Amino acid sequence: MADEEVAVFIDFENLRYGLLNLHGIEPDLQALVEKARKYGRPSVMRAYADFSEHPSELTRALQVAGIEAITIPVKRSIHDRGGKSVERVKNAADMVLALDAVLEAIKAYSSRQNKVFLIVSGDRDYVKLVTILRNQYDQRVVIVGVSGQVSADLVAAAGGEKDPIAIKQVPEADKHEVEEAIVKMVRKGPAPLEFWSVRMIDQWAQDSRHDIPGTAKDRRDAIRELLSKQVFITKERIWKGRSVTETILDEAKAKELNCL
């Protein structure tokens, strides 16, 4: 292992949605840490996003991997445009990531220390950050991104240094088998609380302990299909004094469609 310290800054939305949209898989955070360890000792590892908009198991996975989750709430506002209401979404996660990376570089430079900065994103918006880290603070930068969505300008700004995310090959799954496995998981239970919700079903389906075939996208598509076919039915109920949306398995419908 190299002697340098490594600072890892993760644009979590860029990483996660890049993997989901292009490959249908969730991030392997332990593999990301092992990638960082190739360059030296990880002294700083942070991921930036509004984590309320991501499954809670990913926050736990970050904690297990030793990556600090920095929550930057998304700000939503409604504006009138041509007589229509338009939602505007503002996310400052990339700005906070850039500021933290610069502060880390300043600290390293002032102590005459060389670090390796792993910027986990493919977004061209980080070009200025990368040039500052390299040119003003004399730090090495490596771009870690999802193949197919990494800006060539970003890699060029890093002096050509890139280390793409390795993509695990997931065996192709039969659509019906995925649906059947999810139905059987819900039927077997027990529900995490006193009832199932769509979000809970998704979280359990993505957990490797339940052995659901296919990619993360395959499983989410299957849940949507089961809702569309009314194998899963949602209804409002009162739970602990508040209104929640419960998801119920219609076993008769599941048997009719050969999912049980």
Say which residue, 83 or 159, is predicted with more confidence: 159
pLDDT of 166 reads 86
Same domain, 25 and 153: yes
Instruction: Determine the pLDDT at residue 80.
Output: 53
DSSP, res 4? S
Domain assignment of residue 29, given as a range: 5-157
Who wins on pLDDT, 81 or 160? 160
Note the pLDDT of residue 90: 58
- Given a cut of 70, is residue 89 above it in pLDDT? no
110 in a domain, yes or no?
Answer: yes
Do residue 153 and residue 188 come from a single domain?
A: no
pLDDT at 86 over 50: no
Q: What is the pLDDT of residue 81?
A: 54
Q: Who contacts 107 (Cβ-Cβ below 8 Å, separation ≥6)?
A: none
Taking residue 155's Cβ as centre, other Cβ atoms within 10 Å add up to: 19
How far, in Å, CA of 48 to CA of 13, rounded?
Answer: 8
State the sign of the Cα–Cα–Cα–Cα dihedral 217, 223, 224, 225.
positive
Other CB atoms within 10 Å distance of the CB of residue 44? 19
- In this prediction, residue 244 carries a pLDDT of 87
Give me the pLDDT at residue 42, please.
96
CATH code of the domain in which 218 resides: 1.10.10
Q: What is the mean pLDDT of residues 5-32?
A: 92
| Domain end (from 157, 190, 222) | 157
Mean pLDDT within 169-179 = 84
